[in-house]
Amino acid sequence: MEHLINDKVKSIEISGIRKFSNLVSHIDDVISLTIGQPDFPTPEHVKRAGVTAIEENFTSYTHNAGTLELRKAAADFVKKKYGLHYNPTSEVIVTTGASEAIDVTLRTILEEGTEVILPGPIYPGYEPIIRMCGALPVHIDTRNNQFRFTLEMIKPFLTEKTRCIILPYPSNPTGVSLNKSELKEIAEHIKGRDILILADEIYSELTFNQEHTSIASFLKEQTIVINGLSKSHSMTGWRIGFLFAPESITKHILKVHQYNVSCANSIAQKAAVEALTAGIDDALLMKAEYKFRRDYVYQRLYSMGLDAVKPDGAFYFFVKIPNFIGLNSFEFSLKLVHDAKVAVVPGSAFSEYGEGYFRLSYACSQVILKAGLDRLEQFLNKFK
């Protein structure tokens, strides 16, 4: 009965991250440096708020856009943190994680034959949705620009078909972010054109070298901001994301969201209010630890002779595989996990422009990091 399946769905594949993880999940004694989620527990006060919500029977549907209490908390959060101004009654939607926010946004704004400009390498969660909408992903190779996705790189790819530019920063898989002047340049060039910006800012609270700036502070009327609590408050399983945009856009996205999930989890919404209010600075301790780990990993990679751009944020390194290895990224990662019992993610999982690299996550303890990097070093020494 496969002939009855939508051809656009048949043409996409399971994420390369998941595909590789599933392939090596049966191997014993593996140190995993693949994980894309914080290794910290959800803060206790946030968990208690979730428990209280259950005990008080807050277990029914909420408003499709989320409880007004949470939308107000989310609007206050981005105002205090990033100077953004959104009306909680009409410009904020609570979603089932940032992933659903990305999905409903792209399904709302894209049409058959339109184009989406996005950097490469990039998180694999955008392209399948773009293709299922009948649109065309246009990847821009950022490898020779220290993975920075700047206006000068974008300009040559703008066409009459360009509907959206995706700006994910800090980036997964590179950890590279954009500064205020770079964002302002993009905003000024796009302003007034029939182009929307999808700013995926899920790692906005985990920046090391500079305070996060949202491009919406320069171009609110054409920007859809995606954020959430998975990374900032270690709430990946709670599945709470946020979408901020002008009412002229959200009123249409809300229709797609409504028919997709009705509303986000009511219990998780109560916990999210606690996270955004009493826990407004919960990310600071995690950020300090990630910065310490980043510096340690960078020093270790440098001492091994490996080429990697020092991340501005998030918790990943995107590392170039030395030429003397003679393996592509999938082969390298598979051999590393079999021979050294260390799991990383092949760069090819992050578009064709990730080939020749691997992603290493430092969202794990110092003990695990040291052991994993020791094994990686021993593995590399066998090739020298």
- pLDDT value for 268: 98
Report whether pLDDT(35) > 90. no
Per the CB < 8 A criterion, the answer to whether 330 and 346 are in contact is yes
Per-residue pLDDT of 36-75, as tens digits, reads 899 999 999 999 999 999 999 999 999 999 999 999 999 9
Contacts of 281 by beta carbon, 8 Å cutoff, 6+ apart:
none
User: 92-95 and 241-244 as β-strands: parallel, antiparallel, unpaired?
Assistant: antiparallel
Chain region(s) in the chain for CATH 3.90.1150.10: 2-41+282-381
Per the CB < 8 A criterion, the answer to whether 204 and 177 are in contact is no
The pLDDT confidence band at residue 26, using thresholds 50, 70 and 90, is confident
Per-residue pLDDT of 115-153, as tens digits, reads 999 999 999 999 999 999 999 999 999 999 999 999 999
Domain 44-276 in CATH 3.40.640.10: yes
- pLDDT value for 115: 98
CA distances from 62 to 137, 251, 263, 270, 315 (A): 35, 17, 6, 11, 33
Residues above pLDDT 70, as percent of the chain: 100
Per-residue pLDDT of 184-213, as tens digits, reads 999 999 999 999 999 999 999 999 989 999
Residue position matching structure tokens 């007034």: 192
Report whether pLDDT(321) > 80. yes
Tokens of 296: 């340690």
CA distances from 5 to 8, 11, 106, 133 (A): 9, 10, 21, 15
Q: Which fold has domain 2-41+282-381?
A: Aspartate Aminotransferase, domain 1 (3.90.1150)
What is the arithmetic mean of pLDDT over 286-315? Answer: 98
Report whether pLDDT(8) > 90. no
Angle at 158 between CA 98 and CA 145, to 5 degrees: 75
Question: pTM for the complete prediction?
Answer: 0.96
Chain region(s) in the chain for CATH 3.40.640.10: 44-276
Per-residue pLDDT of 97-110, as tens digits, reads 999 999 999 999 99
Alpha helices, H only, the chain: 7-10, 16-24, 44-55, 68-82, 97-109, 127-132, 151-154, 180-190, 216-219, 247-261, 266-276, 283-303, 329-339, 366-381
- pLDDT value for 83: 98
Per the CB < 8 A criterion, the answer to whether 216 and 199 are in contact is yes
Report whether pLDDT(19) > 90. no
Torsion sign across C-alpha atoms 13, 345, 340, 26: negative
Residues above pLDDT 90, as percent of the chain: 91
